[in-house]
Amino acid sequence: MPQTITRAGHRLAYHAMEGRGPGVVFLGGFRSDMTGTKAVALEDWARASGRAFLRLDYSGHGQSGGTFEGGSIGDWYADALAVIEAATEGPQILVGSSMGGWIALLIARDRPERVASLVTIAAAPDFTEDGYWADFSEAERLTLMTRGRVTVPSDYGEPYVITRHLIEEARDRLVLRTPLELGMPVRMLQGTADEAVPTETATRLIAHASGKDIRLTLVKGADHRFSGPGELALIREAVMDVLARV
């Protein structure tokens, strides 16, 4: 059974494993949960290494309470930060996948004292604005603004409901429009066959962020899941790389 805390009336589920620090925190993506391949594989590595580890479900995701449609980037950022504050001590290594990369960047920007280093996997900063809103037709934008939601197809199962609240609230959370200082070691992983987050997003992010130790690795042929054996090994290697520099 997962451990839980409550934030904003919602029960947030997480699994925290004790070990030596700095601990590793896995932040999952949009509509994903903490039982995914990358989260569990990284936890297995942490257990074998004696490293503290945390994985969690945002509200409206996985085993946590709330509804997905009621959430926003700001809510999920606050959820992640609340669990990190409750379940860890000191600076952590944040590993953010897709939307989790955006949330990890927000934490690194706003709470740098809690971040020892950062690893992103197909990070999707500002995807609500540069992905959904930018790609919506005029008809879809009108529907979103008047009805409060639109439905878009998903490659991962049922269609996604995108709400006006999600789009509008995220405009206060964008990280590619204002200075982004990352004073910790940062490793970014990106597959060239990723159809959800284009390579251009990764190159834009590394060009935009400022910091002394930021590296981007492009993996030819890797898709958005980034969950094959070789790709999981690259995630572990990136974590060990930043650990050596902390």
**Is-catalytic flag, 194?**
yes
Q: Which of 194, 213, 223, 227 is flagged as catalytic?
A: 194
**Is-catalytic flag, 10?**
no
Give the pLDDT score at 219: 98
Q: Which of 10, 15, 61, 224 is flagged as catalytic?
A: 224
Count the neighbouring beta carbons within 10 Å of the beta carbon of residue 161: 15
Q: Which of 64, 72, 98, 117 is flagged as catalytic?
A: 98
Distance of alpha carbon 137 from alpha carbon 82, whole angstroms: 36
**Is-catalytic flag, 72?**
no
What's the average pLDDT block by block, 10 residues per block, for the chain (246 residues)?
95 97 97 96 98 98 96 98 97 98 98 98 98 96 97 82 97 97 98 96 98 98 96 98 93
Residue 37, both tokens: 């391949």
Give the pLDDT score at 229: 96
Domains in the chain (CATH in brackets) are: 3-125+176-245 (3.40.50.1820)
Rg (CA), the chain: 17
The vertex-210 CA angle with 209 and 216, nearest 5°, equals: 60
Count the neighbouring beta carbons within 10 Å of the beta carbon of residue 236: 16
Sequence-distant (6+) residues with CB within 8 A of 88 are 16, 23, 25, 52, 54
DSSP code per residue over the chain: --EEEEETTEEEEEEEE--EEEEEEEE--TT--TTSHHHHHHHHHHHHHTEEEEEE--TTSTTSSS-STT--HHHHHHHHHHHHHHH--S-EEEEEETHHHHHHHHHHHH-GGGEEEEEEES--TTHIIIIIIHH--HHHHHHHHHHSEEEE--TTSSPEEEEHHHHHHHTTS-SSSS--B--S-EEEEEETT-SSS-HHHHHHHHHH-B-SSEEEEEETT--TT--SHHHHHHHHHHHHHHHHH-
Distance of alpha carbon 188 from alpha carbon 122, whole angstroms: 8
